[in-house]
Amino acid sequence: MIKISLTESFIIGIITIICGLIIQKITDLFGNDIIKEENVFNKYKNYNMFYLFLFIIGILIHIFIQYAEFNEWYCEKKCINDACEILCHLPINSITKLIITK
């Protein structure tokens, strides 16, 4: 069962809007004329629906991360004598485990 916090979703939505504003400002300052004209962040910066769309994308990203259990990533260090190994596990819906060794 997935538990999704509305407060966390709201914060992630706001962070997504802030990231969009940062990208917009960077392209304004450092982009050439073609980038300024074709960049979606500059093209729709005067439309409130664009920022609502960014907010909804942030909420959907949060729900996906909760559903896929990407927030359950953990690493453990196993040592035998002087040799150590770090194993990182990412459970995906408790069915599969992605194991990355270093």
In a shared domain, residues 60 and 77: no
Residue type, 75: C
Domain span at residue 78? 72-102
The pLDDT of residue 45:
75
Distance (Å, rounded) from C-alpha 77 to C-alpha 99?
13
Residue type, 82: D
| CB burial of residue 62 (10 Å; 0-12, 13-18, 19+) | buried
The arithmetic mean of pLDDT across residues 81-101, rounded, is: 60
The pLDDT of residue 96:
46
Total of domains in the chain: 2
pLDDT tens-digit readout, 52-85? 999 999 988 888 877 766 666 667 777 887 778 7
In a shared domain, residues 84 and 51: no
The pLDDT of residue 29:
83
